[in-house]
Chain A
Amino acid sequence: MLKIKEYIIEKALFMCALITVLTTAGIILILTVEAFSFFRNVSLYDFFTDPQWTPLYSEKHFGILSLLAGTFLTTVIAIMVALPVGMGIAIYLSEYAPRSFRKIIKPLLELLAAVPTVVYGFFALMVVTPFLQNIIPGVSGFNALSAGIVMGVMIIPFISSMSEDALHAVPKSLREAAYGMGSTRLQTVFRVTIPSASSGITASTILAISRAIGETMIVTIAAGQMPGLTLNPLKPVQTITAYIVQVSSGDVQFGSLEHQSIFAAGISLFALTFILNSVSFWIKKKYRIQYE
């Protein structure tokens, strides 16, 4: 009797674990099937070369490049904000800060990642954009710059906490050897600690990029709904994620080509983040073997 119960419980727990595999399978299946019917109407060649993305206009163009440009632009701005600040925090906390200070500051910084993204969107639109309009002439009401900056603030804790872990994992002996040779802390950080932790730092940066690419609400609220092949951060753009929101919150018919286009956009987004996540996972795994 006890044996049967144990057996049933083990199978039930296995089912729970299996749900995660089914989730991935479901995502891939749905995106491919729906994107496939989309690509029967729109050629892959047009999808990747057409400079316009206008599925909701009467003259339809499906060129993912303009959505990619918007995504790329906001992501680059976000990383330009988050990488220096995040690394600065990581280095300071792991190499300079007193232990007690670190213990207080770390959970506070993690609050930055806990704020709902729709709240960041409000902040970008209502505070950062007016501020930018005051100091830079020609900033549109919706623009990539403000959305990118705020997104950067949001991903600071991703970079800082994962990079700090990586710096922390560098064996003490390496640092002590550098100090023994008369290096300052700064020299040790940049010539010994960071190079030794480089794979962990790279992994965290890639993960942060992937996070920025997948971020939705900030760019939907603050970057506008204007897909275009532009790299001008002062103009409105549209990202892949913002497009999916735009179609989902409008009244577009199920099964129409416009509606199917969100799956084409979705599969591009999924592929992009999947590749980045895998690369990050792979780098991190390799790095672990190196140090244990």
Chain B
Amino acid sequence: MNNARVNRIKDVLFKYFGIVCTLSGLIILAIFILNILIDGVQRIDWSFMSSLPSRFPERAGILTAWTGTFWIFCLTAAIAIPIGVGAGVYLEEYSKKGWLANLLEINIANLAGVPSIIYGILGLEVFVRILGFGASLLAGSLTLALLILPIIIVATREAIRAVPKTIKEASFALGATKWQTISRQVLPASASSIITGIILALSRAVGETAPLIVVGALAYVPFVAKTPMDEFTVLPMQIFNWVSRPQHGFTINAAAAIIVLLCFVFLMIGIAVYIRNRAQKKNPW
């Protein structure tokens, strides 16, 4: 065999290696979801969704956990969206080039890489102890809001940057002020990309466990939270708690709770992707 042929064969072999790598990731994901479905799907029924936690696996439910997750979702969104979008708008439209802009930029890049558990430590000291919110829904949501801020800011900046300059210039030419231009032209034009980024960021917040453990979310909460100052648990906390127990019944409960959590997370991602695709299709520029 001559050299050229050996190289051809190597090339083809490598192509198959690439295909195997690509598919292996997806196959692992599939095996893993299938496994959890087999373990947990028959456990999901109305009483599982509407029961309080219990020492007995057959009687335990996830009512406090999913309502907690819902609370956390709403509060985190309410805190993180205005701040994140605001910061993104400032950095893209207002901030002048200079040391401050540079500092902000490097800082956000770094924050995006800080381990989530470190945010938990920050939340524990600042929100739980110094501001005195206790191990409440509010403290947990504030912590998660800080965690996802960098993601929302980066998404907002990219979305705004994609808006053509001509739109802004036309608005200025008609005598609009800077804020009028931003609020009536730039933000509506970039809305779908910003919303996609926000939903993806929130889907991450919903799945977080570590920072909430540090903040003090409880594994056992015998009542449904009514105000943001109540103690709370969330689905990932409940799953963690059940996984750490030896009884088989709790393992099945954990699998069932995972199905509920995954449905929620994948639904959010699905919505985000749908919005992105729809926006790409009717994009005028």
Contacts from A to B (Cβ < 8 Å) = 2, 5-6, 9-10, 12-17, 19-21, 23-24, 26-27, 30-31, 34, 84-86, 88-89, 91-93, 96-97, 105, 107-109, 111-112, 114-119, 121-123, 125-127, 153, 156-157, 160, 182, 184-187, 189, 207, 210-211, 213-217, 220-221, 241, 244-245, 248-249, 254, 262-263, 266, 269-270, 273-274, 276-278, 280-281
Contact = CB atoms under 8 A, between A and B. Distances in A.
Contacts of B26: 105, 108-109
B191 interface: no
B86 A12 contact: yes
Nearest to B211: A216
15 contacts: A16-B87, A21-B107, A23-B122, A88-B17, A117-B210, A119-B261, A126-B39, A207-B113, A211-B113, A214-B116, A248-B216, A270-B115, A273-B113, A277-B114, A281-B110
- How many B residues are at the interface, by size bracket? 35 or more
A12 to B, nearest CB: 7
Q: Give the one of B91, B117, B150, B254 with max A CB within 10 A.
A: B117
Contacts of B239: 118-119, 122
A38 to B, nearest CB: 13
Given A16-B87, A93-B22, A119 B262 contact: yes
A151 B181 CA distance: 45
Contact of A24 (B18, B111, B210, B244): B111
A27 B122 contact: yes
B57 to A, nearest CB: 15
Interface in B246-276: 251, 254-255, 258, 261-262, 265-266, 269, 273
B15 interface: yes
Contacts of B11: 184-187
B95 to A, nearest CB: 7
Contacts of B200: 114
A106 to B, nearest CB: 10
B25 A19 contact: no
A27 B106 CA distance: 16
Contacts of B153: 20
Contact of B19 (A2, A92, A187): A92
A23 B109 contact: no
Contacts of B31: 127
The 7 A-B pairs of least Cβ separation, nearest first, read A92-B18, A214-B115, A116-B207, A88-B21, A16-B86, A13-B90, A216-B210
B240 A221 contact: yes
A277 B110 contact: yes
Contact of A20 (B22, B108, B214, B244): B108
Contacts of B25: 85, 89, 109, 112, 153, 156-157, 160
Contacts, number: 255
B188 interface: no
Contacts of A266: 117-118, 121
Contacts of A12: 86
B149 interface: yes
Contact of A114 (B10, B20, B120, B265): B265
B239 to A, nearest CB: 5
A184 B10 contact: yes
A94 B180 CA distance: 42
A148 to B, nearest CB: 14
B213 interface: yes
B214 A248 contact: yes
B125 interface: yes
A20 B150 contact: yes
B107 A24 contact: yes
Contact of A122 (B87, B104, B107, B254): B254
Nearest to B277: A107
Given A245-B117, A248-B213, A5 B179 contact: yes
A278 B118 contact: no
A156 B207 CA distance: 19
A157 to B, nearest CB: 8
B103 interface: yes
A17 B91 contact: yes
A223 to B, nearest CB: 13
Given A2-B177, A109-B25, A122-B243, A30 B115 contact: no
Contact of B109 (A5, A187, A281): A281
Nearest to B269: A114
Given A108-B26, A244-B117, A221 B244 contact: yes
